Structures are given as C-alpha cells and as structure tokens.
Amino acid sequence: MARRFFTFLAIVFSLGQMITAAEAQDASPAQPVRGGTLIVAIDPEPSSLTATFNNQYSNRTISANIFDGLLRYDDNYQPQPNLAESWSVSPDGKSITFKLRPGVKWHDGQPFTSEDVRYSALEVWKKVHSRGRSTFATLTDVETPDALTAIFRLSAPSQVILNAFDGAESQVLPAHIFAGKDIRTNPASAKPIGTGPFKFQKWERGQYVELVRNPDYWNKGKPYLDRLIYRFIPDASARSAALESGEVSYIPFAGVPFADIARLKKNPNLSFDSRGYSYAAQTYFLAFNLRNKYLEQQKVRQAFAHVIDRQRLIDTVWYGQSKPEYSAIPSSLTRYFSNNVPHYDLNIDKANQLLDEIGFKRQADGTRFTLRLYTDPASSQALLVGEFLRQSLSKVGVKLQYIPLDNATFTRKIYTDYDFDVVFQGWGIMLDPQMGLTRVYDSKAQTRGVPYANAFGYSNPAMDEIIHRYESEVDPQKRVQDFHDFQRLAMTDLPLIPIMQAPFFTAWNKKLHGVDLSPAGAHNGFRDAWLAP
C-alpha cells in the first residue's frame, strides 16, 4: 500500500570508478568473529551525540550506532523494518500506522514505546531538525492507541515522509530523558541513551568518543564488536599515516588526502570504496549572506557564477575525483533533475561587465570590494578551496579574505550570529529534494541556532509558493514539475551556487569485514561489522 504514495529513486551517485575494492569483502571468512575494538578516525569532533538538531556528518556517523530509526533502507532505497516491524498507509494517504517491535529497551533498561516515537516526531524532528521541519511539514499528530502502535496523522498525503526514518536521519529519542527540556541544551545529548547496538561509554573532549557493545540489543547476536573508538584526528596526513600503520582501521568521508590515494591503493592491506553516500546526495555550494550590501545584488551573485571554473577546482583540489553540478538539484537525482535552468558558463569578461553595470567600479588598487570567505571545516580540502576561490575572484576585483574556522565557531557564525559573507559548504539533498533543499530556500526556515538551514536571508514569495506546492502535491508527475520550477527559480535568484558533487569515499583495513556499503552505509554504524584475527 505504501508504494502507491511513495516512490523511491534509484540514484546513480558516482565518482566514476575512482576507488572500488569490493573484492576485499569476497575474501572474508564465512562466519563473523566476535569481540575486538574498532578504531575509527574522524574529523571534525562532533558537537553533539545526537543528529536530531545538528546533522553534521560526524554527529550522524557516531550517533547512528547509539540510536535506531523506525526504518532502514536497502540497496534499492526501499524501506525495511527496524524499530517498526511493519507499517501501512491509509487509502487516502493521510495516515501511516507503525507497528513497533516488542521487547526493545533503552540503554538504561526502560522499555521503548510509542510515546517515544510521538515525542521524537512532534517535538524534535518537526521542530528542531533542519530537514525534518520540511519532511514532516504535513504531520499534525502522532496517536498512540497502545504502547506498540504509532499512527502518524497527516494534513495531506506526503510523498517524502517514508524516505526519512533511518537511524541517522530521524533518530528516535527517549521521551523519559528529553521530554519537557530543550534538546539543544540538554546535557543528555552528550551522554546519550539509545536503543542501538552500542552504548555510550565516554567522551574525552578533543580526543575520542568510546562506545561499548549493547548486550541487550533487540537484534539478537549483534553487534559483533565489543567496542568502538572514534578518534579525532584533525590533520588529514596524520589520518592517512594512522591508517597505513594499522593504528586506525576505518576512515569515512574522504578522510585521507587525495594526493595519497594512488599510493594507498597499492597497499594490499587496505580497501577503498565510494559507495555508502548516495542516500545523502550531498552537493557543495557557494552560499551568500544576502544581508550584505554587495551580495544582495543579483548581478554580483551572477558574476560569481561566471568566475568559478568548476572542473578546474575539482581537478586542482580533488584530483579530478568529483563531478560539477549546475543546478540546485544534483544530476544524480534523475527523477527530479532538470537541465532547463539558467546556466552561467565560465566567462570573466561577462563577470566584469555585470559588476560594472551594478556600479561597483574598481578602485585604484584594482579592487572593487572585500568579502570574508568561510569554508566548512569538515572538508579536508578547506584550505585549498579557500585559496582557489580567493584567486578566482581576484580576477574580477573581488578580494576574498579567507578565514579558517573550527567547527563550533563555523556553526555559530553562520547559523546563529549570521556573521559571514560567503560560505563554501556541502548540503545533503537526500533521496527526495524536499528533505534537503527546503531548509535552505524556504523563507520560514530562517531560525537562529538551527544548523544547516536558511541562514542566508533568502526570501522570495514565489519560491515559498513552489515549496508549498511540492510539500502537499499528491500527483507524482506534477510534483516533479514543481521541482523543475524550483530549480529554475533557484538558479535565477542564485542565493547559492551549486558547484560539485561531494567526492566521498571510505578507506578501511581489510581485517575489518561487514562494512556497510548500502546507500546510507557511511551513516549506518557498525551493527554488522567484525574484525578478523
């Protein structure tokens, strides 16, 4: 029944065949081995151990071991049981009934019930999750007729909602711990209690997070590992060296220098794979603070778009391991993507012409104006990106002051203080663009302190109307057309300029088996992982 109303896409989200070593899995022993400690290198350090109000990737990656979602997704992006054993959609599409798994306990021994689902959906996903506020826009209530039944009531059928229930995207939190308190300031977010395969043990700030096996996990027999250690190693070269030496056994999200890839691939003890990221369909954008007197001018943003040589950026900074993007919806989301949008080809003369037309003339030193540039500290290539963009914009007299920031400062400046000019950052567009893009373009998504939402001051009633249409549209083809309209307006207004697909890959030691390479694998944790002797 659910498939009448919810269509899942088959995304071809590739970085070519850059790095694929699935044969390492083929050589694995037949039976998993129990025990052992897996050490993972990650950067930046998480800001929270739940991803419900800040879904930065390190928050998601670690906390997905601690928390479960109602559903998980298979290789074809189809929903599968998890905390919910089954679900059904009403004939009118306005309710979804989840039958919850019996016998599940929180890490403190309390039973998991439908009240936890109700609290998480209404008070967390719908209110403070940057994507959830759009994904669950039509959710009006969650009824709990008994402890193992949760009925989602919708104001209109939603074609996006069943895409969003995995354990990294929509974590179910314990109501008895969080209800009545602000989750964003609750100390329990740093010492989480979940239902997942691993329990929180310790967070040594600046050093590591330690998780231990949950002996009472509902999926009997799992996990196989005794312990997970997430080490915070800021320097990419140091992460690479630790992988080579065997000091760490797993590094996600392109965590080693791209310059090292060719050499590391020759190491017979290591495997590389670019699968595990397509669920997020992450895209890097150049985003603008439209409160700035220069950047509020559309022609200035158009000039920026004409200056950036996407392919050269990819070749120079990422050794060619990505693909340019020219629309707000990435080309990998073939169901929704449209090429019928305004294009801004590399054209320095055109960029100079636009800046002259708007009246920002060159001064005696050749400079028109100065802007601050921040790059997402989660990117290992941040410094190189900053230098590339600085040189690019200097060709049209725009001086970029590149200022590296740590993760906490970056998040505060952009999403709380609005103290920025230009940002280079990735956003997960997700399986359905409603999940990932609404939070960036919707004028109502401007909420101080909510990371990865509309911090840019962008507001256009025409865009808000398009968003309203696709959030409530029941006809799949009309909804696709809404997304085409969305792209055309996004590329006309240009509050953000799409630049490239995120060039992610995972590297691991071949002693590690059961690595999850499903569409959301890099976020799914280590339920099935084990270490060979």
Chain segment 375-390, per-residue pLDDT in tens: 988 777 888 999 999 9
In angstroms, the CA 511 to CA 533 distance is 7
Task: Please return the burial class of 236, using the count of CB atoms within 10 Å of its CB with bins 0-12, 13-18 and 19+.
Answer: buried
Report, as an integer, the average pLDDT of 102-107: 98
- Is 120's pLDDT higher than 70? yes
pLDDT of residue 360: 97
Helix/strand/coil for 28 = coil
pLDDT of residue 4: 36
Chain segment 186-215, per-residue pLDDT in tens: 999 999 999 999 999 999 999 999 999 999
Chain segment 149-165, per-residue pLDDT in tens: 999 999 999 999 999 99
Strand residue runs (E) in 36-94: 37-42, 71-73, 79-81, 84-89
In angstroms, the CA 186 to CA 323 distance is 40
pLDDT of residue 293: 97
Report, as an integer, the average pLDDT of 25-30: 51
What pTM, to 2 d.p., does this model score?
0.87
pLDDT of residue 29: 56
Chain segment 289-304, per-residue pLDDT in tens: 999 999 999 999 999 9
Most confident segment among 2-6, 43-47, 94-98, 374-378: 94-98
In angstroms, the CA 350 to CA 476 distance is 39
Q: What secondary structure letter does DSSP report for 45?
A: P
Within 10 Å of residue 231's Cβ, how many Cβ atoms?
A: 19
Report, as an integer, the average pLDDT of 108-124: 98
- Is 24's pLDDT higher than 50? no
Question: Which one is predicted more confidently, 406 or 81?
Answer: 81
Mean pLDDT of the chain: 92
Report, as an integer, the average pLDDT of 435-450: 94
pLDDT of residue 442: 97
pLDDT of residue 22: 40
- Is 16's pLDDT higher than 70? no
Instruction: Give percent of the chain with pLDDT exceeding 70.
Output: 94
The distance in angstroms from the start CA to the end CA of the chain is 46
Decide if 54 contacts 48 (C-beta within 8 A).
yes
- Is 245's pLDDT higher than 70? yes
In this structure, the strands spanning 369-375 and 139-146 are: unpaired
Cα radius of gyration (the chain) = 23
pLDDT of residue 98: 98
Length of the chain: 533
- Is 7's pLDDT higher than 90? no
Confidence of residue 9 (pLDDT cuts 50, 70, 90): very low
Domains and CATH numbers, the chain: 282-501 (3.10.105.10)
Tell me the residue type at 67.
F
